[in-house]
Amino acid sequence: MGGVQSLQLPHGKGPHQVGCTDVMVGYNRKGLFFRLFYPCLPQEGAEQPLWIPRYEYCHGLADYINLNRKWCTPVLSVTFENCEGLGRCFLLFQLISCSRGSYRVPVSWNGPFKSCGSRYPLIIFSHGLGAFRTVYSAVCAEMASRGFLVMALEHRDHSACATYFCKVEAGESDSLEAALQEEWIPFRRAREGQKEFHFRNPQVHQRANECVRGLRLMQDINRGKAVTNVFHKEFDLSALKDCVDLTKVAVMGHSFGGATAVLALAKETHFKCAVALDAWMFPLENALYPKVIKPVLFVNTEKFQTTESVAKMKRLSSRNSQTKIITILGSVHQSQTDFTFLAGNLLNRVFQTRGTLNPYAGLDITNRAALAFLQKHLELKEDFDQWNNLLEGIGDSVIPEAPFCVSSL
* Active site positions, annotated: 255, 278, 333
CA distance 272 to 295: 8
| Measured CA distances, 251 to 150, 268, 342, 406, 408 (Å) | 10, 10, 26, 26, 27
Q: Among 330, 340, 336, which residue's Cα sits nearest to residue 297?
A: 336
Rounded CA-CA distance 79/97 in Å is 14
